[in-house]
Amino acid sequence: MNYDGRKGRMIFGYRSKGGIVLSGDAGFLIDTLQGDDKHVLIRKQLLSRKSDVLPKVVKLNIYSGKEKKIRSAPVPYSQFLIDNHGQPRFVAGIDKNYKTKLYYSEGKGDKWQAFGNEFDGEFTPVTFSQDNQSIYALKSKNGETKGLYKYNLETKKETLLYQSDMVDPTYVIKSNLNSVYGLRLDEDYPSYFYLDNNNKEAKLHKALYSAFKGANVAITSDTADGKQIVVKVNSDINPGAFYLFNTETMRAKHLFNSAEWIKPQEMSQVEPFRMKTPDGLILNGYLTLPKNNKGEKLPTVILPHGGPHARDYWRYDPQVQMLANAGYAVVQVNFRGSTGYGKAFMEAGYKHWGSKIQDDIVFATKYVVQQGVADKDKICIFGTSFGGYSALQSAIQTPELFKCAIGYAGVYDLPMLYEEGDITSIKWGDAFLNKTLGTDAEQQRIQSPVYHVDKLKAPVLIIHGEDDQRAPLKHAEKLKEGLDKLDHQYEWLVIDKEGHGFYDEANILKANKKILSFLSKHIGV
């Protein structure tokens, strides 16, 4: 499209062919080819849940949509690194056994070679160095947090540049010249580590971070001469504001907000906290209190995240703000099994979805009661996807603790994950489930809410999309069947043409009203 948004047309994908489905390919921009205004490089991947096809690097003409194949990957489900001459020269992929495979080539026309010896740890390539002789990568050998390394491709020598004791880097900050100059870290509040404080870009980023008083700062784009940049600023109370910044005058001009209707001054601040579990793990969490409330024995919503292999951050969360705005304290905890704290921390949740992970969630709940924040008689647990599973499982394990439970797009029958849904349709889906759930079917049943509804005391709200591929409706229907047999109190909201979570605005509003009504009935302010 033109710079002003006019004359736009689709140049890749089936819609570029007039709506006729000729192929099921997806395209991902991987390089803009500096100096070439007519072409970009994309990673072309056949849309297949089996992920058994090799991605390709394709040179795409941005005016005509014509393609030219440059290179195929040597391993399925892989990502390319492009060097500073526009050549794909490094690949990291996952094989059928869910193992990371690494390859590199010397240059154009050279064959892929295995990079180093067999690699058992985690390795995420980031970018080539400015001289094309090295790459930057995030690496962890034995389950510890990932460190930022620089690798010489010829000598295979590695140099550790930085590593946090608590968290993996959230992302690497680099300039247009592939010069890595910093890292974003999310231990509690977001922070930034600069590899070289004398670096021009590092100085600029540091000044912006200071000027915006600790909010998240990301440079989203810049002019070729670097004189003007677009900066995105967001925080716990600000979903995002964009500024045009002049690097010579050091002045910023506000462009627009990503959600104009959200007024930051009306939002509730999010405060991090840490706990140490009885078995010695440090857990990071976030507490959000209703605005202008000192936090004394409040009705409280425990909000476990999905995944389980994901994590919560200090950031604006519309669900959290909705609950806080309605007068509830909101507790989020990055339980064992969460990502971002090293592979060992994540794997501590493997095979313990319904046991140790839930113990951490319950531990956080009791913590806020002990701190005097939560009213022990007014606590509800609410989550989406794995969070929905946790809501039911925790309420079953500690029936006296929770006065209500809300499962949204949840999985409630762990053995069913092997039979229904899209996880096993992915090539390494079975291996993933075996690794994270374990292969003991009886243990899976023990940790599945549908088999233990007789232990449940809390009233339940079940919300689900009829077309959910990840957690098929059968999970909710089986839970409903068990509740019906016991004449257990529950409410039900299932909406057609919605998937794993609702996306239609009217349906989101309907679900939110149902949630707030249910909470008001059982732990109301």
Query: At what angle are helices 386-397 and 356-370 packed, to 10 degrees?
Result: 70
Rounded CA separation 414/308 (Å): 13
User: What share of the chain in percent tops pLDDT 70?
Assistant: 93
Single residue among 78, 102, 117 that ends a domain in this structure: 117
In a domain, 494, yes or no: yes
Flag whether pLDDT at 372 surpasses 50: yes
Answer whether the bond into residue 278 is a cis peptide, omega within 30°.
Answer: no
In a domain, 187, yes or no: no
Rounded CA separation 457/490 (Å): 11
- Average pLDDT on 216-223 reads 91
CATH number of the domain to which 369 belongs: 3.40.50.1820
Tokens representing 392 are 């039911």
Weakest mean pLDDT among 147-156, 302-311, 321-330: 147-156
Rounded CA separation 246/230 (Å): 9
Rounded CA separation 446/355 (Å): 9
Residue corresponding to tokens 């690496």: 139
Flag whether pLDDT at 23 surpasses 70: no
Phi-psi region of 300 (alpha: psi -120 to 50; beta: other; left: phi over 0): beta
In a domain, 186, yes or no: no
What is the domain extent for residue 499? Answer: 268-523
Same domain? 138 vs 97: no
Flag whether pLDDT at 427 surpasses 60: no
Please provide the DSSP assignment of 137-150 as one string. Answer: EEEESSSS--EEEE
Rounded CA separation 132/114 (Å): 18
Same domain? 135 vs 235: no
The strand pair at 282-288 and 180-186 is best described as unpaired
Single residue among 215, 240, 260 that ends a domain in this structure: 260
Rounded CA separation 118/112 (Å): 15
Flag whether pLDDT at 21 surpasses 50: no
Same domain? 130 vs 112: no
- Asked if residue 300 lies in contact with residue 401, where contact means CB atoms within 8 angstroms, the answer is no
End-to-end CA distance of the chain: 51
Same domain? 207 vs 134: no
Weakest mean pLDDT among 156-160, 195-199, 215-219: 195-199
Flag whether pLDDT at 51 surpasses 70: no
> What sign results for the dihedral spanned by CA atoms 118, 179, 57, 97?
positive
Flag whether pLDDT at 105 surpasses 70: yes
Same domain? 35 vs 92: yes
Rounded CA separation 223/490 (Å): 56
Average pLDDT taken over every residue of the chain = 89
In a domain, 509, yes or no: yes
Tokens representing 356 are 């140790």
Question: What is the pLDDT, as a whole number, of residue 19?
Answer: 47
Single residue among 132, 149, 178 that ends a domain in this structure: 178
Same domain? 358 vs 443: yes
In a domain, 183, yes or no: no
Same domain? 101 vs 157: no
Q: How many folded domains does the chain comprise?
A: 4
Same domain? 246 vs 292: no
Nearest to 140 by CA among 170, 126, 113, 119: 119
Flag whether pLDDT at 465 surpasses 60: yes
In a domain, 37, yes or no: yes
Same domain? 249 vs 285: no
Rounded CA separation 81/130 (Å): 13
Question: What is the pLDDT, as a whole number, of residue 159?
Answer: 93
Weakest mean pLDDT among 127-131, 291-295, 384-388: 291-295
- Average pLDDT on 438-463 reads 92
Residue corresponding to tokens 């160095």: 129
Same domain? 505 vs 376: yes
**Amino acid making up residue 32:** T
Rounded CA separation 501/518 (Å): 18
Tokens representing 203 are 């100085």
**Amino acid making up residue 91:** V
Same domain? 388 vs 498: yes
Same domain? 98 vs 223: no
In a domain, 188, yes or no: no
- Average pLDDT on 92-113 reads 82
In a domain, 191, yes or no: no
> What sign results for the dihedral spanned by CA atoms 255, 42, 22, 429?
negative
Flag whether pLDDT at 20 surpasses 60: no
Rounded CA separation 97/114 (Å): 17
